[in-house]
Structures are given as C-alpha cells and as structure tokens.
Structure 1
Amino acid sequence: MSWLRETAEGVVLTVRVVPRAPQSRVQGVLGDALKIRLAAPPVEGKANTELVRFLADELDLHAGKIHLLAGATGRNKRILIQGLRAVEIVSKLGQS
C-alpha cells in the first residue's frame, strides 16, 4: 500500500484531508494517499487537531503517539504513528 510505510520510528501515513465534512471519517484510498474527511474547518490548526484526535480514536492510541511530520498548512499530510505496525493500522482503519 503506497499510503503507508514502516520506518524505524513508526509507521508513516500519507493522508489527503477534506475539511468541513458533516462528520470525520475515512473515505478510502485516493492515489497514493488515504483520504480522510474531517468535520473541523481548516482554520487555526483545527483540522490538524481533529485529524490527530480522529486517528487516535480510530486506532485506540494516545494522541501523543501521533505526530504531524509535514503538511501543517495543506491538505496533503504525512503522519507518524508510533506503537502500531502497518498491518494493525490497515485493519483498524478498515482499509485492505
């Protein structure tokens, strides 16, 4: 799967976010990114905060294990997830 890769630090996800959605949810794979719709607007970091909260809930992890590596001001983001393997993330996010 081109939207995630395991590294020594954890698993890096490539994500494409769509803010201002009716609810936060994984929409599926779009090219080489996982498309996630977020209920928060892209204002003052609210969408980034919602992305971390959403992933923490979906993956049953503490938000401190999820780090924004790149894309703080854009829709394309790279996220580092620590504490899970790639296969566990795929299973928990319902993507196969």
Structure 2
Amino acid sequence: MQKKVKVKPNSKQQKIAEQSDGSLTVYLKSPPVDGKANEELIKLLADKFDVLKSQVRIKSGLSSRLKLIEIDTDV
C-alpha cells in the first residue's frame, strides 16, 4: 500500500491526521536533522498500521515534507 504523507517536524505532540483525500499529515516531535524525523515517521507509521519498521519505506521525498510512503502489509 502507498500513502502520501505530509510531515510537520518540530511539533509539540506526535499525531497522525488522516485527510479526506486519503493522505496523512504526520506531526513529529523530532527536528528534520540527521534523519531523526524520518526515523520517527517510520516508527509512528509502523505502529499505526501494525507492521514492522522494516516494512515501512520512504519511496520518495526523503528530504522533503511531502513524502510517498510504501507499507508492505503482505508479510
């Protein structure tokens, strides 16, 4: 499954908001430095979709706020 994700780093709280178009807005506490925000994003999405962190991949937008995430649910 693929999801479009908009990331908001340096937020006061962690949360995932689902938009009407099916995309996600993810609020992260981590700053976008040294991949910390991407690590937190992968952990949060793995928890939300009940998969392992290794099953969540950032397909595009590694250094962007708009990302395409692939979640492998076929394991």
Q: TM-score range by the shorter chain?
A: 0.7 to 0.9
Residue from 36, 44, 48 that aligns with 1:58: 48
SS at match of 1:69: strand
The structural deviation recorded for 1:74 is: 0.6
Say which structure, 1 or 2, has more relative contact order (CA 8 Å, 6+ apart): 2
* Residue 23 (structure 1) aligns with: 13
Distance in 2, matches of 1:74 and 1:32, equals: 19
Structure 2 unaligned spans of 5+: none
Distance 1:62 1:32, change over 3 A: closer
| Aligned positions, number | 74
Task: Select the structure of larger CA radius of gyration.
Answer: 1
Correspondence list, 1:7-86, <5 A: 11-29=1-19, 33-83=23-73
Structure 1 unaligned spans of 5+: 1-10, 85-96
| RMSD value, Cα | 1.7
Distance 1:35 1:64, change over 3 A: same
Q: Taking every aligned residue pair, what percent have the same amino acid on both sides?
A: 32
